[in-house]
Amino acid sequence: MPQITLHQLSMSYRGPQLLSEVGCRIEEGEKIGLLGRNGAGKSTLLKLLAGQERPESGSIEFAPGTRVAVLPQDVPEGIRGTVEEVVSRGLPEEFQLDENHWKRDQYLSNTLQQLELAPHLDFNSLSTGLKRRTLLGQSIVSRPHVLLLDEPTNHLDIDAIRWLEGFLASLESTLLFVTHDRAFLTRLATRILEIDRGKLFDWSCDYETFLKRKEQALLAEEKQQALFDKKLAEEEVWIRTGIKARRTRNEGRVRRLEQMRVTRLQRPKSVGSVRMQFETGERSGNLVCQIEQASFGYGDKQIVAPFDLTIMRGDKVGILGRNGVGKSTLLKGILGKLPPRTGTVRLGTKLDIAYFDQTRDVLDLNKTAVENVGEGKTTIQVGGKSKHIIGYLQDFLFTPEQARSPIRYFSGGQRNRLMLAKLLAQPANMLIMDEPTNDLDSETLELLEERLVEYDGTLIVVSHDRAFLNNCVTSLLVFEDGAIKEYVGGYDDWLRQKKAELTGSNGVKNTARGAASTLPKSEPSTTSIKTQVEKKLSFKEKQELDTLPKKIEQLESEQIAIHDQMASPNYFKQPASILAADQTRLEKIGRDLAKAYQRWESLSERA
């Protein structure tokens, strides 16, 4: 017997039909990814399965004794207590009995240890990511036969996401999950279900196979509809022929035409695709941001250690690190919203900055989409042309009715789309984005990636989405070992370079600008050098001396690579921004090499 059976399930919330007589069977132990556009009804289906909503028609049948647990998309308000207390509220009834007290404590302790949760921390003091992990623990301790997960990777850092993938893969429970994380889907889902225009489609395959089959199905649907429309047009011409033809008209053919008209009217409307474009406005100066030994924090607490960074026009920089290390704090420092505790942050000239905030604080939930984006205006300028707000929002798949509705009724993905619409309503030659991929459907996410690749402004983005980082950024700032280090390329490139570092390979191209915080800010005086020579090297200095040759080799390799590129006949056909950036980088490599050689000589004399 199937673990779950859906019988002709329908749901509309008195609006557009989200689910229309859908049916499905789910077997024990399956790990199912549930896909669909934002607002298609994915969260609604999870709520129906969890018993939080009742269908307008149809029914859900569970195998006898099936326990269902759910991890919601957002952290519910009003939760109180320690981590241990919150998790324990999910324990099955048999653990609540006094005679099972020891067994209960042991089981709870093992679960907390497995989830890497500190039992005595106050729940409300945790980050959103740790709150969701605590709620996951509450779901798991109930020993569910079915676990429902709505965007489980939201607010988690990449280390936590990789841990979650392994943890869920080892569970024997049946999983049904909604996620925008394509790498997560690829690694975990054994079956794909998709909600499309009210219908539930069972693709019965993994995610990569689904992508291929979906593309083929869309092409086949397009051809089929084109043939149908051609035949319908021919029949309409026939029915409108003259009197002579009407005398010999075939009544069966007339009835078929009437049925074709009904079929055409009942055809589900295509959802369409988001249309977005980035307006860069005025060209910024060549230097976008210069950070020298800057640190950031709040009060007496330092969160971001001193580091150096140079960002040139056209750079696309990703920021990676565990939750709580200071990624969002760094963005605020670059934006000028948080002054540095030490060092300096100098922004370039002619900068028009647009900021995408993951907290969505700029959105007023009580206002409509029109009010949030238009801010009192009825038109905006897009591509140098005036466009009505309603039409502009339709480009982001908001119907006129939705555009005039308070956004508190929007799904997480719809709110993120609205954030993008608000962001792109203003010209900007520098985009700073904090977790822009949360809750977006795959089609919108892929379009966002395409537009960011085409964007000729400067991009700084914090993201936990591995595929997004691979596709959009050309360098990564990584918080690791208490410093910020820079790596060339995307997420997979970073993994390769880290692996090469651990195996001692010299092929790593790691500019590691954050490591420059250990270098002297100015040349040491003769007196100070003489004093240092009399002293033996400290442990840290010995470590520094060991790493300096490798650093010098890396800088020299990068210097040679840039010179080789400049020797190419086609090099100077590139945009001026690239030529200027290479020249600036060469100058900085020269300065860094001079410092590294002097430091190496100084330490070698004392070794």
Q: What percent of the chain has pLDDT over 90?
A: 27
Which tokens in the block code for residue 341? 């505790």
Which one has a higher pLDDT value, 308 or 272? 308
Please tell me the predicted confidence (pLDDT) of residue 271.
Answer: 53
Percent of the chain with pLDDT over 70: 86
Q: Is the pLDDT of residue 3 over 90?
A: yes
d(CA 478, CA 495): 11
Domain 4-210: CATH class, spelled out? alpha beta
User: For 528-561, how does the pLDDT look when each residue is reduced to its tens digit (9 = 90+)?
Assistant: 333 333 456 777 777 778 788 788 878 877 877 7
Predicted local confidence at residue 30, as pLDDT: 94
Residue 308 clears pLDDT 90, i.e. is over it: yes
What pLDDT is stored for residue 148 in this prediction?
95
Task: Please enumerate, as own/partner, the contacts of 118-126 that have beta carbons within 8 Å and a separation of 24 or more.
Answer: 118/83, 119/82, 119/83, 119/84, 120/82, 120/83, 120/84, 121/82, 121/83, 122/81, 122/82, 122/83, 123/79, 123/80, 123/81, 123/82, 123/83, 123/85, 123/86, 124/79, 124/80, 126/83
Residue 113 is predicted with a pLDDT of 84
CA atoms within 13 A on the CB side of 169: 13
The answer, yes or no, to whether residue 518 has pLDDT greater than 60, is no
Amino acid at position 237, single letter: V
Average pLDDT over every residue of 498-510: 60
Tell me what pLDDT residue 461 has: 94
**Confidence check: pLDDT of 270 > 70:** no
328, two tokens: 């969002």
95 falls in which pLDDT band (50, 70, 90)? confident
Give yes or no for a contact between 305 and 483, defined as CB atoms under 8 angstroms apart: yes
Residue 247 has pLDDT above 70, yes or no: no
Q: Quick one: pLDDT at residue 572?
A: 58
pLDDT tens track for 402-453 = 888 888 888 777 888 888 888 888 888 999 998 888 878 777 888 888 888 8
The H-assigned helical ranges of 503-575 are 526-533, 539-566
Once rounded to an integer, what is the mean pLDDT over residues 557-582? Answer: 69
**Average pLDDT value for residue range 344-358:** 89
| Residue-averaged pLDDT of the chain | 81
Same fold, 4-210 and 287-514: yes
- Whether the predicted pLDDT of 510 surpasses 50: no
Q: Residue 179: which of 371, 344, 33 has the closest Cα? A: 33
Mean pLDDT of 465-483: 90
CATH architecture of the domain with range 287-514: 3-Layer(aba) Sandwich (3.40)
Write the secondary structure of 124-135 as one string of H (helix), E (strand) and C (coil): HHCCHHHHHHHH
Categorize the per-residue pLDDT at 564 as very low, low, confident or very high, splitting at 50, 70 and 90: low
Q: What is the pLDDT of residue 242?
A: 53
**Cα–Cα dist 589/509, whole Å:** 13
What's the confidence (pLDDT) of residue 116? 79
Secondary element (H or E) of residue 294: strand 287-298
Return the higher-pLDDT residue of 599 and 291: 291
**Host H or E run for residue 43:** helix 42-50
Q: What is the predicted pLDDT for the residue at 98?
A: 60
Chain-centre distance for alpha carbon 88? 31
Band (pLDDT 50/70/90 cuts) for residue 291 is: very high
Q: Which has the minimum average pLDDT: 147-161, 367-381, 423-437, 496-510? A: 496-510
Domain ranges of the chain: 4-210, 219-266, 287-514, 520-606
* Average pLDDT estimate for 471-483: 89
pLDDT value for 522: 32
Residue 338 above 80 pLDDT?
A: yes
Q: Lowest-pLDDT range, 120-134, 345-359, 506-520?
A: 506-520
Confidence band of 248 (pLDDT split at 50, 70, 90): low
138-178 pLDDT per residue, tens:
988 888 999 999 988 887 888 888 888 888 888 889 999 99
Q: If you ran DSSP here, which 8-state letter would residue 72 be given? A: -
- Mean pLDDT is lowest, of 159-173, 349-363, 510-524, 531-545, for 510-524
Between 1.20.1270.360, 3.90.650.10, 3.40.50.970, 1.10.287.380, what CATH number should domain 520-606 receive? 1.10.287.380
